[in-house]
């Protein structure tokens, strides 16, 4: 498998009122050509920030303090690139809120045509034809008519399809999806996930899919990276990571997925405590204060991802504790 995109040792810092926090701390990710990498974690884990850093779209005050971005080239090698230069060339992004991510004063067709014209010379009418064709491809009914619409005239689901068409118009190799289905209702969510999966296969596209929803990851991703408090704590192929988690945090996320057959007298399972404040991360393993398996040496643990099974890496220094529990303790 060739690597389509690799992020090496990315750190993002924010300085406000003299205090510096690091919401993304030494994050490395890679996604293979034609694959979907799921990036999971709670709010504030640094998932969106990581995606935005890849395109140089960090909010005011946030900056990349270290890291390298490598993109697969036509020559078959990985080349180091600058985030801003990949906009409209190679990498594009689908945003979380289709209600606010489309320019309200621009017609759908022009929004998409802008993307088509951004990366290559194309006449206005060619760009329009491309836009209408893309609307059809992403499943917008009556694309010629819808092309003339303003964003506010479309439903949330249609807007997200337009957003995907806009991202595809730049003919990217890698699509970054920032919780693209969170704002949509469940049936529409399913359709959009199906659409993303289809275009990934048809176009050989690589996707990095950010979500807090593990069920969604199981549906769309081949690989998964779990983030906690600014760091990647576990990576690997999707089934092993979800079924045989090697990090207590991943395990806790998996066991807190509510099941339909839960009794009405049972409480939903949650993770004790709250995610740590980025201004005051705990020492060693950042999950240790909330971890039911924590041992004294966890607070001194160095953050290293160690391969425990084929391609399955964890930062937990006591993965055996979790393994024994899940064998004996499964209900």
Partner 1 sequence: MGRFGFVLRRILGAIPLLIGITLFTFILLQLVPGDPALTLAGPRATEERVEAIREELGLDRSLPAQYVAYVGNLLQGNLGQSIRSKEPVTSIIRERTPVTVWLLGAALILSVSIAVPLGAHAARHRGGWIDHAIRVVSTFFLTMPPFWVGLMLLLVFALGAGWFPVGGFGETTAERLRAIALPAFTLALWIFPIQLQSFRSSMIDVDGSDYLQAGRSIGLEGLTLFRRYILRNATAAMVTLLAVQMGFMLFGAVIVETTFNLNGLGDAMVRAVSGRDFAVVQGITIVFAVAVIAINLLADVIVAALDPRVEIQ
Question: In the complex with partner 1, which residue's Cβ is closer, 170 or 251?
Answer: 170
Q: Least distance (Å) from partner 1 to the CB of residue 98?
A: 9
Question: In the complex with partner 1, which residue's Cβ is closer, 119 or 212?
Answer: 119
Q: Least distance (Å) from partner 1 to the CB of residue 148?
A: 11
Q: Least distance (Å) from partner 1 to the CB of residue 167?
A: 7
- What is each CA distance from 69 to 49, 61, 81, 207, 322, in whole angstroms? 15, 21, 6, 15, 34
Lookup: tokens for 200: 């990934």
Q: Which residues pair with 37 in a beta bridge?
A: 208, 223
Q: Least distance (Å) from partner 1 to the CB of residue 137?
A: 17
Select from 195, 196, 191, 190 the least CA-distant residue to 209. Answer: 196
Select from 186, 106, 109 the least CA-distant residue to 140. Answer: 109
Q: Least distance (Å) from partner 1 to the CB of residue 177?
A: 12
Question: In the complex with partner 1, which residue's Cβ is closer, 17 or 259?
Answer: 17
- What residues make contact with partner 1 under the rule CB under 8 A? 52, 55, 57, 87-89, 92-93, 95-97, 100-106, 110, 114-115, 118-119, 150, 152, 163, 166-167, 169-170
> Cα(251)–Cα(303) distance, rounded to whole angstroms?
18
Kindly state the helix (H) or strand (E) to which residue 217 belongs, with its residue range: helix 214-220
Question: In the complex with partner 1, which residue's Cβ is closer, 37 or 57?
Answer: 57
Question: In the complex with partner 1, which residue's Cβ is closer, 115 or 278?
Answer: 115
Question: In the complex with partner 1, which residue's Cβ is closer, 96 or 235?
Answer: 96
Q: Which residues pair with 36 in a beta bridge?
A: 207
Question: In the complex with partner 1, which residue's Cβ is closer, 175 or 253?
Answer: 175
Q: Least distance (Å) from partner 1 to the CB of residue 170?
A: 5
Which 3-state string (H, E, C) describes 114-154?
HHHHHHCCCCHHHHHHHHHHHHHHCCCCCHHHHCCCCHHHC
Select from 184, 207, 186 the least CA-distant residue to 196. Answer: 207
Select from 265, 325, 253, 266 the least CA-distant residue to 294. Answer: 325
The DSSP code for 274 is -
Q: Least distance (Å) from partner 1 to the CB of residue 164?
A: 12
């Amino acid at each position: 498998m060739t690597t389509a995109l690799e992020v090496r040792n990315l750190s993002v810092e924010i300085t406000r009122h003299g205090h510096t926090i690091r919401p993304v701390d030494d994050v490395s990710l890679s996604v293979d050509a034609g694959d979907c990498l799921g990036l999971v974690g709670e709010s504030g884990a640094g998932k969106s920030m990581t995606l935005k850093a890849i395109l140089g779209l960090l909010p005011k005050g946030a900056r990349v303090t270290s890291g390298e971005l490598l993109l697969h080239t036509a020559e078959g090698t990985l080349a180091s690139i600058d985030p801003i230069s990949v906009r409209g060339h190679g990498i594009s992004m689908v945003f979380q809120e289709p209600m606010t991510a489309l320019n309200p004063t621009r017609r759908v067709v022009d929004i998409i045509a802008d993307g088509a014209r951004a990366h290559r010379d194309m006449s206005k009418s060619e760009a329009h034809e491309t836009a209408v064709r893309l609307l059809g491809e992403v499943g917008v009914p009556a694309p010629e008519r819808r092309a003339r619409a303003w964003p506010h005239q479309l439903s949330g689901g249609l807007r997200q399809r337009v957003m995907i068409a806009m991202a595809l118009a730049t003919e990217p190799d890698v699509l970054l999806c920032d919780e693209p289905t969170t704002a949509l209702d469940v049936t529409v969510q399913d359709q959009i996930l199906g659409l993303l999966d289809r275009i990934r296969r048809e176009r050989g596209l690589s996707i990095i899919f950010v979500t807090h929803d593990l069920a969604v990851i199981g549906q769309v991703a081949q690989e998964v990276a779990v983030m906690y408090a600014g760091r990647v704590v576990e990576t690997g192929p999707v089934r092993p990571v979800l079924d045989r988690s090697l990090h207590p945090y991943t395990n806790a996320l998996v066991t807190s997925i509510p099941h339909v057959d839960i009794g009405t007298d049972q409480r939903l399972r949650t993770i004790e405590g709250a995610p740590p404040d980025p201004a005051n991360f705990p020492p060693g393993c950042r999950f240790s204060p909330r971890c039911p398996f924590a041992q004294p040496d966890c607070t001194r643990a160095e953050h290293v991802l160690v391969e425990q099974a084929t391609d399955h890496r964890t930062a937990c220094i006591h993965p055996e504790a979790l393994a024994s529990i899940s064998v004996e303790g499964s209900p």
